[in-house]
A and B are shown apart, each in its own frame.
Chain A
């Protein structure tokens, strides 16, 4: 059974941008939207570009869905579900994430 893991502090997050954390051998991209007080966690691997780069993508929203766009070829991934907007057959892992007393916590679910 997975558990919440402390990853970093909220100050380590990059407002309106992303960072990457290593959690149980997994690369997890963490995105922070301070205005909405929202944090999102997706796997850092871009399945289209084949590289660990999603934490370095631009974030925003498309038709109300919060998204990150890949820095390589600009595909969008839903920050909550990991579903690719351009190709719904492609989904990347999305992780539960929360902020507790200023610390960022992620729960890794192993397949």
Chain B
């Protein structure tokens, strides 16, 4: 009969237990009688998630040992008994309680203990460590009468401990000696981002702090004094400043240990004694202590394989980690600090969503060496695969950390919308309903409109509807037709290029050369806008007039009853009392409904088409000019009152607003453009919700682009900071010209940038770095528009032939008898259907 040898395992922590679990599942189990010593009163538990103890988990929940495990596998466990001595000559282990066991093979899995810096006062009351469940119970007891807790150490475990203190209801601080959090895993910017996120959660972080003394507190039990003279009162001090290997028992029996501790092991995890192994945090391999559980597990498996007669070796471990610290995703892979010679670094930082990503790649850009992810770590798995398996990187490695614009937009693209999202608010059509209709065979916007009624009300959702449709069709494998309409097999951008490069000056010219048919209400206004953007002809010239959409057609905004509203320009929202009076006089004379707009000007409603020229004659005589409220063009540059009056203003926002409005007025563009200028960061002009937003700072103007209010609000992206006025204007010139050239029809800048490959960085590279070498052209393009500006109403009222159209009937001076107003709150409004009937009956009577 085969007599079993004895295997003793000292320590039943995570690694010790992992070793046992693997051993009993291996053939080596047959050869050994297993004995283990466990110092703690309970078998192995999950120390990695120790803080869960304070969010409701029990010691049982954290246990890593299946009930009955030891009995089932015939393992003798001495619980609550600590092995204190090894006698290598007699091959015995002696325990605290006096038990002596003879071993054939011995495995040391003694783990580590928390390092407590030898600061005077470190052993005071309520100065604790964070390692065992007993430590947690001491923390909980101390927290009962305390208000403040400090964690010394801003590493992985320290931040875990901070969460525990917070869960105990304490005002929590983290004190770190290094200049940043998680100094081992994160680089400076990653650490800074993590700090911001953690501070947002209510934890105060102190970095670069050296504790020199802990003494009596005034309000709290303890007071920490720092080398820089600062002090911090706290009830609990929790040391989490790293670990030290528990190697006493090995030292005492003269096993080799490292100069700074740790039981020296070779690749088979053997110590200097061929019958004694060491695994986990007590072991020193190649001069290194691994403070993570995964390498310890790898060592455990190596020893099991060795015992089973296989050749195995531990050759170091990957230190990559991914975890959630206080709800913040943090991951670190490989050479996160780019210490490899020649390593290249890519960084992506999104201050808004507090995401930081860093990629370290080899000099030839083929291998991933390391990565840091803070705030968003969904890419960890993929990146780890690249790093560990040496998979060749794609041509542009940064694509791995940049938000993917096509598949999973960071901003709410159509795919990010839930099925319950309302697309059309007029008819309450959800994305789900749109998708069903698409599945049922609606593959055009018209078919979708008929089937769902979406976008048949105000039409404001048409762009969104189209993007949902395109995205769904693409998913279903349809080729998405990007032709602008049936008359041109081109996108708006294509047409824009054709017009510019071939210097085409009329719609007819473009249609004859590149299109077919007679055009429609899609392509005509689009081309009309492109022609105006590049050549800036008068839009009511005979050859352009038929291209103009409803409002441009009569240089006023058509309302539901066919009358128009009139909006003169009030640049920057600055208007003198005299001008205001003149405006009021016109409103009064023509009995117009008068309302202040969101863009800081005055809208006059209820003008019949025949009234438009006389109204404008009077406005122009009073010094007004067209406000282009009717055009897809620059609308307003809103401003706060700025430094001339405001106690907080840093610069003259009104002055800049007026200058910009006058510079860009009349610019026809793919959609309307709104600006705002704020005189300080209080942002009273709401510049960050505009296509172009400018905010004054102490050091110059900050430029934001591609913001939007309206249907789908979007915060503007910070484009450039601390600009002087000249540079600011140069960037805006280029930005607007580039938008005009490349945007889709009726695409606001917010949607434009979201659909732009490369997004904000690409836009910056074009506008600031002139990557496409077009900036000179873009500036010239803008200069032409500025040089050829005209007030379209001045041109119109000075041209008798143009005025002929401004009457309801070509053959009668009668007005439209269907235009009927009633009074409400002292002003006119269009009569509704019932009121109209009533009115007509009265008239006949």
Asked if A and B are interacting partners, one says: yes
Is B518 an interface residue when CB atoms closer than 8 A count as contact?
Answer: yes
Is A51 in contact with chain B by the CB < 8 A criterion? Answer: yes
Q: Give the interface size bracket for B toward A.
A: 35 or more
Report A70-85 residues with CB < 8 Å from chain B CB: 71-74
Chain B residue numbers with a CB within 8 Å of A30 are 810
CB 8 Å contact bits of A52-94 with B (1 = contact, 0 = none): 1100111111111011010111100000000000100000000
Q: Are A58 and B549 in contact (CB under 8 A)?
A: yes
Among A33, A35, A74, chain B packs the most CB atoms within 10 A around the CB of A74
Q: Return the chain A residue nearest B811 by Cβ.
A: A21
Contact of B553 among A22, A49, A56 (CB under 8 A): A56
In the complex, are the beta carbons of A72 and B550 less than 8 A apart? yes
CB of B446 within 8 A of CB of A86, answer yes
Pairwise interchain contact A58-B546, C-beta atoms closer than 8 A = yes
B558 within 8 A of A: yes
A22 and B812 form a contact (CB under 8 A): yes
| Contact of B545 with A22 in the complex, beta carbons under 8 Å | no
Interface string of B481-508 (1 = CB under 8 A from A): 0000011000000000000000000001
Are A66 and B518 in touch, CB under 8 angstroms? yes
Cα separation A71 to B560 with both chains bound (whole Å): 10
Q: Does B521 make an interface contact (CB < 8 A)?
A: yes
Q: Which residues of A contact B486 (CB under 8 A)?
A: 62-63
In chain A, residues 1-32, which have Cβ atoms closer than 8 Å to a Cβ of chain B? 7-8, 12, 14-17, 19-23, 27, 30
Interface centre among B450, B459, B809 (most CB of A within 10 A): B809
Decide: A56 and B558 in contact? CB cutoff 8 A: yes
- Among B449, B542, B810, B816, find the residue whose CB has the most chain A CB atoms closer than 10 A: B810
Please state if B560 and A51 are interface contacts (CB–CB under 8 Å).
yes
A52 near B546 with CB under 8 A, answer no
Interface size, chain A (Cβ < 8 Å):
40
Residues of A within 8 A of B814 (CB): 22
- Bound Cα distance from A27 to B548, whole angstroms: 22
Shortest A89–chain B CB gap in Å is 12
Q: How far is the CA of A67 from the CA of B457 in the complex (A)?
A: 21
CA distance A35 to B518 in the complex (A): 9
Q: Which one of B446, B517, B521, B818 contacts A58 once the chains associate, using CB atoms below 8 Å?
A: B521
Instruction: A17 to B541: give the CA distance in the assembly, Å.
Output: 12
Q: How far is the CA of A52 from the CA of B814 in the complex (A)?
A: 13
Check if A50 is an interface residue, CB within 8 A of chain B: yes
Please tell me if B520 contacts chain A, counting CB pairs below 8 Å: yes
In Å, the complex CA distance between A12 and B801 comes to 10
Q: Which residues of A contact B130 (CB under 8 A)?
A: none
In the complex, the answer to whether A58 meets B809 with C-beta atoms within 8 Å is: no
In contact, A59 and B809 (Cβ under 8 angstroms): no
For the complex, give the distance between the alpha carbons of A22 and B807 in Å.
12
Task: Choose from A51, A66, A74 the contact partner of B459 (Cβ within 8 Å).
Answer: A74
Q: Please judge, given known A-B contacts A20-B809, A21-B810, A50-B833, whether A61 and B562 are in contact too, CB under 8 Å.
A: no
Instruction: Report the nearest A residue to B830, measured CB to CB.
Output: A51
B interface with A by C-beta (< 8 Å)? 446, 449-450, 456-457, 459, 486-487, 508, 517-521, 523-525, 542, 545-550, 553-554, 558, 560-562, 609, 804-805, 808-812, 814, 816, 818, 833
Residues in A lying within 8 Å of B, measured CB to CB? 7-8, 12, 14-17, 19-23, 27, 30, 33, 35-36, 45, 49-53, 56-64, 66-67, 69, 71-74, 86
10 tightest CB-CB pairs across the interface, nearest first?
A16-B546, A71-B550, A60-B520, A51-B562, A69-B521, A58-B521, A17-B546, A53-B562, A22-B809, A22-B812
